[in-house]
Amino acid sequence: MSIKHVTVIGAGQMGSGIAQVFAQSGFEVTVLDQQEAFVQKGLSSIEKNLARQVEKGRSTQEEIDSILSRVTGTTDLKMAATKADLVVEAIIEQMEAKVSLFQQLDELCPAHTVLASNTSSLPITEIAAVTKRPEKVIGMHFMNPVPVMKLVEIIRGLATDQETYDLVEQLSRELGKHPVEVNDFPGFVSNRILMPMINEAIYTVYEGVATPEAVDDVMKLGMNHPMGPLTLADFIGLDTCLYIMETLHEGFGDSKYRPCPLLRKYVKAGWLGRKSGRGFYVYK
């Protein structure tokens, strides 16, 4: 099957990044969100990212204009779904919201359309089960920031067929990404390893072992991490970190995945990291 038109649902940081890399690779892309303001913010983010490429001399303005001409925004789900060969969902990390969306997509999209989720932790099998095309449902987990990071975790659901997997793997390579096959377990590989590390870093602050700055310095200077775990948590969003830890804790039933009480407290206080202006650090 040939993929010509891609619909990305969710115009936030991840969705706009996904739309950008598809457009850069020559695909026609529709970006959809619930409100026009969200759509315009996502399109503006793409324009700003591409403008930096011109400033750095990596692209010409003509090349950027060509990329932008392949991206359109909308709030009309029916329109966006009916012309899609591939849908990549990048909405809030909540199963109820994803299930509702995939049920609608299953009804609206052509029979050949592949439905992919950018979920970072939720089971693809459960999402696929609400559709009549579970063989065409797959996980396509990009890393943040999408235009920069090379990895894509490709997650097979229980019913995902080989044709769908092969198609998404090849698409990932066309995007200049490095696809890695992962089975459908909570957190997959990336977040099953990363989030407990972040959670443990939060525990060291909670228990008074060290300050956030000290924890990050140890991991950067002692373990050669490019970014400390608490700075990274703020970048990801503490609410997202908490939700993934809860998914791991529920999915495995193991106390080692119990979210740190300090993480819960910060989220309840609205200290979500960079996006709220305060997390483990204060942002202006």
Structural domain including 17 reads 5-182
Catalytic residue among 120, 121, 172, 199: 120
Q: Which two tokens stand for residue 145?
A: 């920031």
Nearest Cα neighbor of 187 from 128, 262, 254 is 254
Does 207 qualify as catalytic in the annotation?
A: no
Q: Is 10 annotated as a binding residue?
A: yes
Catalytic residue among 16, 89, 121, 141: 141
Q: Is residue 282 part of a domain?
A: no
User: Under 8 Å CB-to-CB from 193, ≥6 apart: which residues?
Assistant: none
**Pair 9, 135 in one domain:** yes
- Mean pLDDT over 28-41 rounds to 97
Domain count of the chain? 2
Percent of the chain exceeding pLDDT 70 equals: 100
Measured distance CA(151)–CA(176) in Å, rounded? 9
Of 182, 215, 232, which one is at a domain's C-terminal end?
182
Q: Is 187 annotated as a binding residue?
A: no
* Tens-place pLDDT, residues 57-89: 888 999 999 999 999 999 999 999 999 999 999
**CATH number reported for the structural domain that contains residue 219 in this entry:** 1.10.1040.10
**Maximum Cα–Cα distance for the chain, whole Å?**
56
Of 151, 182, 213, which one is at a domain's C-terminal end?
182
* Tens-place pLDDT, residues 173-207: 999 999 999 999 999 999 999 999 999 999 999 99
Q: Is 12 annotated as a binding residue?
A: yes
pLDDT at 2 over 90: no
Catalytic residue among 16, 45, 172, 191: 191
Q: Is 265 annotated as a binding residue?
A: no
Does 191 qualify as catalytic in the annotation?
A: yes
Catalytic residue among 28, 89, 153, 169: 153
Of 157, 182, 207, which one is at a domain's C-terminal end?
182
Does 141 qualify as catalytic in the annotation?
A: yes
Q: Is 222 annotated as a binding residue?
A: no
* Tens-place pLDDT, residues 87-108: 999 999 999 999 999 999 999 9
**Pair 27, 114 in one domain:** yes
pLDDT at 1 over 80: no
Contact 84, 114 (CB under 8 A): no
**Pair 131, 208 in one domain:** no
Measured distance CA(124)–CA(137) in Å, rounded? 7
**Pair 28, 142 in one domain:** yes
